[in-house]
Amino acid sequence: MFENLLAQDQVLKALKSDLESERLPPAILFSGPPGSGKLTAALELARVLSCAGAPRAGASIAPWNCPCPSCSRHRSLVHPDLLLFGPRSFPEEIPTALEILGRAPGPASAYFFSRAARKLARRFDAVLYEGEEARLAKAAPSLRELEELLEAVAPEKAAPGALAPGAAEAAAKASLACAKLEGFVPDAPPVFLIRNVEFWARLAPMGHRKTVIIENADRMQEGSRNALLKILEEPPDSVRFVLLSSHRSAVMTTILSRSRTYQFALRDAAGTALVVERVFRSAEPAASIESFLAARRAFPPARARERAEAFLGAALAARSDRAAFAPPIEALARESEIAGGRTSALACLLEETKDFGQKDEALSSSFRSFLAALSSILSSLVREEGVDAAGLGLVERAAALIREASGDYETLNRSPGLIAESLLYALSDAGPPRAGGSS
């Protein structure tokens, strides 16, 4: 078991020991840096706990290739005793899997692609949205399309060195369907979802145990955290809760007190190279798994930051209070002014992102990447020497406008291109954010 968890020897040893001695508690926290294998370990743990080959897991029990029906369903991520939700850490895994499918066609790459896509699809399980089905209405067509396409990519239909006829085309379409679905994943699990998990958790499992996996558990809002805490106070014995977080300190203290932490380490260069070679079938040098995956985005972080700097600088250059800018803020404004100002910054941004995916679905996540880059730049400005109280106030107002823009996009379903244009001119305004939106 855990054969697919690479370069995490210490946490692997601890997990195996607790499983063999049956000391695994009802709630555990996998904590560690992004890309350290937390979700891989959580999904493998769910498989081991549910394995029909042994009532209790042990050192020689539940190997990765276990032929039991339970393990087979878990490997394909279709087991009914598994729930997976929370904001995704690596949406780039799906386009990366598509790349591998083209570079090394065969059952292994078809399996990797299908599994990557279902890591996303499982976040829309009907169980999670019981009584709130209307919230799935927009995602439903893409979900149906994705499942149909994954049938064509099924690993059992592939042969060594080749895919089934039409599988490559189906995978490309499935990747686009996934890009649409990414936009419907909540930024944080809503309260109703946690309450549905509680009801589901108290039903008898089909196998030996149920597993609930919550990715990025530190992002949960207060109401959802309290609802989860209620379950963890008296958890059913047939369920294990696995929380994943890259920021342990942000997890609710009372939840931490009811969870056992398994600390995942930052992989060194050799560990990273091993994962890149074995999992992603590449010899490309990478500083981390996170950077390896990020480089495969249609709108990678480096480009998002460049465009965000030009955008923010153009807005700052047009402000009436520019004469009072601190040197780091003035430098940003001056560089953008030289590059062509607001009209040029907006036009280049919309062209590069194909109107934030409106003209190319592969770029449908680019607006979120752009807003994240803007927020990151503001965070960097706060830490710059020479930024005075007035500069900090300016940064704070800009951050508020970006949050408003994000809210407009997530909840009002407004066009991202129009939101970006409104944001550009709102950031140019010397006054505070206007109530009711950034337009």
Where residue 418 falls among pLDDT bands split at 50, 70, 90?
A: very high
pLDDT at 69: 92
Give the chain's mean pLDDT: 89
**What does the pLDDT read at residue 361?**
74
How confident is the model at residue 433, as a pLDDT? 39
- What is the percent of the chain where pLDDT is above 70? 95
Tell me: pLDDT of 337 over 80. Answer: no
* Percentage of residues of the chain with pLDDT beyond 90: 66
| Average pLDDT value for residue range 190-216 | 95
pLDDT at 338: 67
pTM of the model: 0.78
List domains and CATH numbers for the chain: 9-294 (3.40.50.300), 301-428 (no CATH)
Rounded to an integer, the average pLDDT of 101-111 is 93
Which has the closest alpha carbon to 96: 178, 215, 3, 151?
Answer: 178
Report how far residue 127's alpha carbon sits from residue 133's, in angstroms, rounded to the nearest whole number.
Answer: 10
Q: What is the pLDDT of residue 54?
A: 57
Taking residues 398-419, report their average pLDDT: 87
Query: Higher model confidence: residue 226 or residue 296?
Result: 226
Vertex 120 angle, CA 68 and 291, to 5°: 110
Q: What's the pLDDT band for 300 if we cut at 50, 70, 90? A: confident
- pLDDT digit string (tens) for 142-181? 999 999 999 999 999 999 999 999 999 999 999 989 988 8
Report the number of secondary-structure helices (H) and strands (E) in the chain: 18, 5
Residues 6+ away with beta carbon under 8 Å from 148: none
pLDDT band for 421, please (50, 70, 90 cuts).
Answer: very high
- What confidence tens digit (pLDDT) does each residue in 348-396 have? 999 999 999 888 877 877 898 899 899 999 999 988 888 888 889 999 9
> Around 227, how many Cα atoms within 13 Å sit in the side-chain half-sphere?
17
Give tens-digit pLDDT for 30-43. Answer: 999 999 999 999 99
pLDDT tens by residue, 114-134: 999 999 999 999 999 999 999
Calculate the CA dihedral of residues 74, 78, 79, 83 and round it to 10 degrees: 100
The one-character DSSP state at 278 is H
